[in-house]
Amino acid sequence: TQMNDTFPKDFLWGGAVAAHQIEGAYDADGKGLSTADVLTAGNRESPRQITQGVLPGQYYPNHEAIDFYHRYKEDIKLFKELGLKAFRTSINWSRIFPNGDDVEPNEAGLKFYDDLFDELLKNGIEPVITLSHFEIPYALYENYGGFKNRKLIDFFVRYAETVMNRYKDKVTYWMTFNEINNQLDTFDELHTWTNSAVLFEEGDNKEEVTVQASLNELIASAKAVKIGKAINPDFQIGCMMAYVPVYPYACHPKDMLASSKMMERRFFYSDVHVRGEIPIYALKRWEREGFDLEYTEEDLLSLKEGTVDYIGFSYYMSTAVTTLDDLDGQPIRDFPEAKVVGNPYLEANDWGWQIDPDGLRYTLNTVYQRYNKPLFIVENGMGAYDTVDSDGKIRDDYRVEYLEAHIKAMHEAIAIDGVDVMGYTPWGVIDIVSFGSGEMEKRYGFIYVDKDNQGNGTLKRRKKESFAWYQKVIEENGLQD
């Protein structure tokens, strides 16, 4: 097949970001604090800190971000020039319900997204909207302890209903919780915080707390799907997963088993979102571990009634696991099932993320065979340090190389394997604050933003060399053979 024959005419070539990583204006027009607003800047070596409220003397990179809140019209002009058909962003929940439990929404917040969506539509760009992309009103942590508290189900549903109603004629594509499956995979405090607004306390069984918070989110998501479909039956409502294939490091059967057990930590969430049931492997595990989880018959019915239309997912890298001691794989992290090790066949970016385009084809196949639902690649990309040359150009051929290889892999999955893919929105279409490290200089964009890790810079936008390359990909509906 000619590559550009493969993609349907309405294939959603786009770009993706998230509200807290671009908007800034963290306290403008009645917005409340969100979980992202209390994250300091980190770097490759030292993690971001989660502070109790906003502390003086700390630098919070998301407070200003790239000031998209005030500059979106200028940025959308560039997106149009790039040819984007879709733009994935999120609604910052704390703009709409500043404390999370407010009875009435904040009109100024609603108005901002009205204007933003109008501007996109006016420029022929379809908004693709995540309801909670690591943004949860901070007050829901302070007053309720975050999603481990089931009261948050209703607060989320009220928020979802409010925005789905308001934007019913402007937004068709929705997703509920961004990378909801990060949390069970790592027990990394940053992930539990950003996914669920939960901080572990002394004596907590981390897995039990995480499972409870996750269940509450899955129930909230299902309820939002049901309500959304009633508001507008044409809505396409998806879930959002982080898929990172976990390969067996050796062909030892124990490594193969460990790899599929590790994948259950990632698949658990989409199993519930897509099938509307708690998978048996999870029930068995909770029983074995003696978890005391709170959910009702009615909740189970909600899960059944609110299954998703498609699976949105991010794909950046793969990992490998081994149960063996006598292999020289570099240990990265220990799990009960196995230890995660470096893959000797793959190269990594500067942050250690192993680059694996075949892993994308593998993922598309595995997920499609598991669920038989349309898939939407809503994040893919390579974080890199870019430099502005003396002639003002940003020669990011490494970015083009990464994306080209992944687009080829996606093409193979569609053309050869028959996987149903709705669209492709590479991550950080314009440079933004990194989620993981809080750095500005971990860049993904086709559009450079003049700002550094300390927050200095003019915020001026500039096209990178990759801009023209992606523009051509979209124009030709795929890569030229």
Taking CB under 6 A as the criterion, the residue among 217, 299, 379, 396 binding ligand BG6 is 379
Taking CB under 6 A as the criterion, the residue among 24, 32, 245, 383 binding ligand BG6 is 383
Identity of the residue, 216 or 434, whose beta carbon is nearer to ligand BG6 in the bound complex: 434
Q: Which two tokens stand for residue 87?
A: 């733009």
Dihedral sign computed on CA atoms, order 141, 333, 316, 306: negative
- What is the distance, to the nearest Å, from the Cα of residue 304 to the centroid of all Cα atoms in its chain? 24
Taking CB under 6 A as the criterion, the residue among 373, 442, 451, 461 binding ligand BG6 is 442
Dihedral sign computed on CA atoms, order 114, 115, 121, 126: negative
Q: Contact region for ligand BG6 (CB under 6 A) — 82-90, 268-276, 356-364, 428-436?
A: 428-436
Q: In angstroms, give the least distance from the CB of 214 to ligand BG6.
A: 17
CA 272/CA 286 separation, integer angstroms: 15
Identity of the residue, 16 or 367, whose beta carbon is nearer to ligand BG6 in the bound complex: 16
Identity of the residue, 215 or 242, whose beta carbon is nearer to ligand BG6 in the bound complex: 242
Q: Contact region for ligand BG6 (CB under 6 A) — 197-205, 272-280, 415-423, 432-440?
A: 432-440
**Terminal CA-CA length for the chain:** 9
Q: In angstroms, give the least distance from the CB of 453 to ligand BG6.
A: 13
Size of the site for ligand BG6 (CB under 6 A): 13
Q: Contact region for ligand BG6 (CB under 6 A) — 99-107, 144-152, 257-265, 427-435?
A: 427-435
Does 294 qualify as catalytic in the annotation?
no
Q: In angstroms, give the least distance from the CB of 444 to ligand BG6.
A: 7
Q: Is 280 exposed, middle or buried (0-12, 13-18, 19+ CB in 10 A)?
A: exposed
Q: What is the DSSP string of 95-116?
A: HHSTTSS-SS--HHHHHHHHHH
Q: Looking at this protein, which amino acid is placed at residue 213?
A: A
Q: In angstroms, give the least distance from the CB of 234 to ligand BG6.
A: 26
Q: Which two tokens stand for residue 142?
A: 């302070």
- For residue 239, give Cα distances in angstroms to 65, 106, 222, 306: 26, 26, 10, 11
Q: Contact region for ligand BG6 (CB under 6 A) — 81-89, 361-369, 394-402, 430-438?
A: 430-438
Q: Rule CB under 6 A: which of 161-180 touch ligand BG6?
A: 178-179
Mapped onto helix, strand or coil, the DSSP state of residue 58 is coil
- In the set 126, 135, 379, 439, the catalytic residue is 379
Q: For 61, which DSSP code?
A: G
CA 376/CA 313 separation, integer angstroms: 6
Q: What are phi and psi of 389, to 5 degrees?
A: -70, 170
x/- mask, ligand BG6, residues 231-250, rule CB under 6 A, reads -----------x--------
Identity of the residue, 6 or 425, whose beta carbon is nearer to ligand BG6 in the bound complex: 425
User: Rounded to 5, what percent of the chain is helix, strand, coil?
Assistant: 45, 15, 40
Q: Rule CB under 6 A: which of 5-64 touch ligand BG6?
A: 18
Question: In this structure, how many other beta carbons lie within 10 angstroms of the beta carbon of residue 69?
Answer: 21
Q: In angstroms, give the least distance from the CB of 42 to ligand BG6.
A: 10
Taking CB under 6 A as the criterion, the residue among 436, 441, 469, 474 binding ligand BG6 is 436
Report CA Rg, the chain. 21
Q: What are phi and psi of 87, to 5 degrees?
A: -130, 115
Q: Contact region for ligand BG6 (CB under 6 A) — 96-104, 270-278, 362-370, 435-443?
A: 435-443
Q: For 376, which DSSP code?
A: E
Asked if 314 interacts with ligand BG6 (CB under 6 A), we say yes
- Contact yes or no for 119/73 (Cβ under 8 A): yes
Q: In angstroms, give the least distance from the CB of 293 to ligand BG6.
A: 26
Task: Tell me which residues touch ligand BG6 (CB under 6 A).
Answer: 18, 178-179, 242, 314, 379, 383, 427, 434-437, 442
Positions annotated as catalytic residues are: 379
